[in-house]
Amino acid sequence: MTAPAPQEKNIETSDPTKGAGDIAGSKIGVFICHCGSNIAGVVDCGKVREASEKLPGVVVVKENKYTCSDLGQAEIIKAIKENGVQRVVVASCSPRLHEPTFRKCVQQAGLNPYLLQMVNIREQCSWVHSHEKEKATEKAANLVQMGVSKAGKLKPLEAREVPVEPTSLVIGGGVAGIQAALDLANMGFKIYLVETQPSIGGKMAQLDKTFPTGDCAICILAPKMVELSRHPNITLLSYSDVEEVKGYVGSFEVKVRRKARFVHEDKCVGCGSCAEVCPVKVDNEFDLGFGQRKAVYVPFPQAVPLKYTIDKVNCLHFKSGKCLLCVKKCSNQAIDHEMEDEILTLKVGTIVVATGFDTYVPKRKGVYKYWEYENVITGLELERMLNASGPTGGHLIRPSDGNPPKRVAFIQCVGSRNKKIGNNYCSRVCCMYAIKNAQIVMEHEPETEIAVYYNDIRAFGKGFEELYHRVREDYAVEFIRGRPAKLTLDPKTKSIKIRAEETLLNKITEREFDLVVLSTGLIPSEGSKRIGKILSLTQSPDGFFMEAHPKLRPVDTAMDGIYLAGCAQSPKDIPDSVAQAKAAASSAAAPMFARKVRIEPLTAIVNDDLCQGCGLCVDLCPYSAPELVPGDKGGMRAHVIEALCHGCGTCAASCPQKAISPMQFTDDQIYSEIQAALTETTRRHSPKKKAEAEVSP
């Protein structure tokens, strides 16, 4: 087999800071982190140190309990300043966690921050080989060898500073999106809020009261919705979808589709006379099928913007070309059946993703018979029913006969904490909304008999436990520990018999109820999957968007300039959503206040001496970053437009001349890693052998 020869001589790409890094004579410092016992509990860091000391170029090796601590960082700085270390290798956690920390530290000591190489001996070593200590130690030593080898090939680089457009895009107009938009607008930034529905308000607008305080949801939300619509810094794009996002932090280019609502927003005054005359009645999605609306409608009375929308699917004019009663009735000539979708192009510096959640929909053939028994409803359907402006005017009724139910059961953890359906997580709000709704039902009908079938009651928030006790003691709501196994219908009365194992009593019981409410959990919203793809956001195993770090960067994403708020990141209640929205606003504001942001030097550069202008890179690049320009010595050669290059390196993988290369992943750097990975100098070395390299005190 003829392996294409890797370039034996190092390919010197035309680095902007050429000549600054003297590879051959580099003094390398290695810093091995114990991470408490996270690494040192498995990997014998002493042995890794001894092995590292023997590596060529290594002049300092230190072990630290926590290299990321002040003390640990001080050692790195000291080694650079006092021992003349020119390349720093930190063997610790994933670079995805602490690379920025150590880059700053290296820079602080006066060294170019890109002369740092991280070695991942925690996530990719100690944590995954915890039962094979000796082999994990060998691997860690080899990983350090790879890092040292690459470190020798590192070159100083300069981060690029780009201007930041002081404008933000907020995707999603639920409570989280509303809060983030308001906060940013109040800081003086221009905001575009894009909401796919005709009105903002999100799921919170559908709720009756909020736990644990019993505030009316829409009463506390509506003023915020109105404030947003009137804010001079906010452009509200309702009934619109984000279709495409290009660019990077500071200057994203966003394409938004404004779906035709067939009613001119500037002319509609929201009087509702069109809806009065509209002859078409259909189920209102906002009321989850319990109420009705017209084909020209606002989803709910407090909608913002209070502008009517024609539902094209059901409008008679679109179906048959006739009717136009609404057009005749509207005195402002706001209705226009010829209206077309409009595409807007926005330029924004940052993006807040607040795409929210959907509620879990019970399975068609499931145990809880949601699709088969009329009197089995979901928690959100109950919310609509209990809501004074809802389809029943706030009266709780049985869907089968319209009578008030005397016996109500709540079944918890439907679609949550269930391995069978793949939703292992707790949805965090179902316990409390069921308890809150039980209280409201008791307030409406004090004679009602209520039982809550639960697995664990999670009343963890401020005032939650108190509400739980109040409902249990003052309202005599019964809490039964156990997951119902079977629901059967009495065909005459339409009542439902629940068979369950009551685990606290250790017996199986059967009880009959007039209404069963399924406390369905939260799942990522349908729209969020689409947005995730458009923005290249990573999802956690549960399908919600993954934050940059679960503890320290809970509102950032792996993408610079894109932040998360609300249930898009994970299920949470209203106060947590609002808090996260405020945090996201603050994170998004930072680069916008600074008006500039540093961008990692990852772009590709071309070595003019090697490039023959074949243009393969031009064909391959997904961003059209390389272009062919006339070369100094005649002929064409490639040139990379830096602002377009994302640094993926697919050009380098195909370049026949090896003339193009991304700055941080050059051929010779990668070859040096391959070579070190397969060289066994660190395997099974004798621990007794004394270190040859000089170790600084």
Partner 1 sequence: MEAGAQREDHQAVHEPKIVAFCCNWCSYAGADLAGTTRLQYPPNVRIIRVMCSGRVDPAFVLKAYALGADGVIVAGCHPADCHYINGNEKTSMRGDFLENFLDEAGIEPQRFKVEWIAGSEGRKFAETVKKMVVELEKLGPISKEAVQDE
List interacting residues with partner 1 (CB under 8 A): 1-6, 94-96, 120, 122-125, 127-132, 135-136, 138-139, 142-143, 146, 533, 536, 538-541, 546, 558, 602, 620, 622-623, 646-650, 652-654, 662, 664-665, 667, 670-671, 673-675, 677-679
- Of all helices (H) and strands (E), which one includes residue 547? none
Nearer to partner 1, 485 or 641 (CB): 641
Q: How many CA atoms lie within 13 A of 681 on its CB side?
A: 17
Alpha carbons 537 and 530: distance in angstroms, whole number: 10
User: Beta-carbon neighbour count of residue 223 at 10 Å?
Assistant: 11
Beta strands in 301-363 (DSSP E): 309-310, 342-348, 350-353, 357-359
Nearer to partner 1, 75 or 667 (CB): 667
> CB 99 → partner 1: shortest distance, Å?
11
- Amino acid (1-letter code) at residue 422: G
Nearer to partner 1, 446 or 541 (CB): 541
Alpha carbons 120 and 124: distance in angstroms, whole number: 6
Alpha carbons 487 and 286: distance in angstroms, whole number: 28
> CB 24 → partner 1: shortest distance, Å?
22
> CB 188 → partner 1: shortest distance, Å?
33
Nearer to partner 1, 101 or 488 (CB): 101
SS3 603: coil
> CB 38 → partner 1: shortest distance, Å?
10
Selection from 612, 610, 655 nearest residue 4 by Cα:
655
Cβ atoms of 121 and 143 closer than 8 Å: yes
Nearer to partner 1, 124 or 418 (CB): 124
Nearer to partner 1, 273 or 540 (CB): 540
> CB 422 → partner 1: shortest distance, Å?
12
> Which residue has 């606290």 as its token pair?
504
Alpha carbons 397 and 47: distance in angstroms, whole number: 72
Nearer to partner 1, 1 or 24 (CB): 1
Q: Could you tell me which residues are beta bridge partners of residue 240?
A: 258
> CB 29 → partner 1: shortest distance, Å?
21
Nearer to partner 1, 504 or 678 (CB): 678
Selection from 359, 362, 402, 398 nearest residue 484 by Cα:
362
What is the torsional sign of CA 275, 281, 284, 287?
positive
Selection from 529, 542, 521, 522 nearest residue 424 by Cα:
542
| CA torsion angle 419 422 426 428 (round to 10) | -150
> CB 42 → partner 1: shortest distance, Å?
10
> CB 415 → partner 1: shortest distance, Å?
19
> CB 338 → partner 1: shortest distance, Å?
36
Nearer to partner 1, 84 or 656 (CB): 656
Angle, alpha carbons 459-461-463 (nearest 5°)? 90
> CB 170 → partner 1: shortest distance, Å?
23
Nearer to partner 1, 214 or 550 (CB): 550
> CB 442 → partner 1: shortest distance, Å?
42
Selection from 41, 51, 135, 129 nearest residue 89 by Cα:
51
Nearer to partner 1, 205 or 568 (CB): 568
Chain-centre distance for alpha carbon 481: 34
Q: Could you tell me which residues are beta bridge partners of residue 216?
A: 209
Nearer to partner 1, 362 or 662 (CB): 662
> CB 80 → partner 1: shortest distance, Å?
24
Nearer to partner 1, 37 or 539 (CB): 539
SS3 235: strand
> CB 43 → partner 1: shortest distance, Å?
11
> CB 120 → partner 1: shortest distance, Å?
7
Selection from 457, 534, 460, 580 nearest residue 177 by Cα:
580
Q: Is residue 305 reached through a cis peptide bond, with omega within 30 degrees of 0 on the bond before it?
A: yes
Selection from 432, 398, 401, 414 nearest residue 513 by Cα:
398
Alpha carbons 463 and 602: distance in angstroms, whole number: 49
> CB 665 → partner 1: shortest distance, Å?
6
Q: Could you tell me which residues are beta bridge partners of residue 597?
A: 162
DSSP 112-169: -TTSEEEEE-IIIIITT-TT-HHHHHHHHHHHHHHHHHHHTT-----PEEEE--SEEE
> CB 219 → partner 1: shortest distance, Å?
39
Q: How far is CA 394 from CA 120, 281, 389, 411, 416, in A?
A: 58, 21, 7, 22, 28
What is the torsional sign of CA 497, 502, 505, 508?
positive
Nearer to partner 1, 586 or 657 (CB): 657
- Of all helices (H) and strands (E), which one includes residue 581? helix 574-594
- Amino acid (1-letter code) at residue 231: H
Alpha carbons 109 and 76: distance in angstroms, whole number: 8
Alpha carbons 408 and 16: distance in angstroms, whole number: 73
Nearer to partner 1, 433 or 544 (CB): 544
Alpha carbons 27 and 38: distance in angstroms, whole number: 29
Nearer to partner 1, 197 or 528 (CB): 528
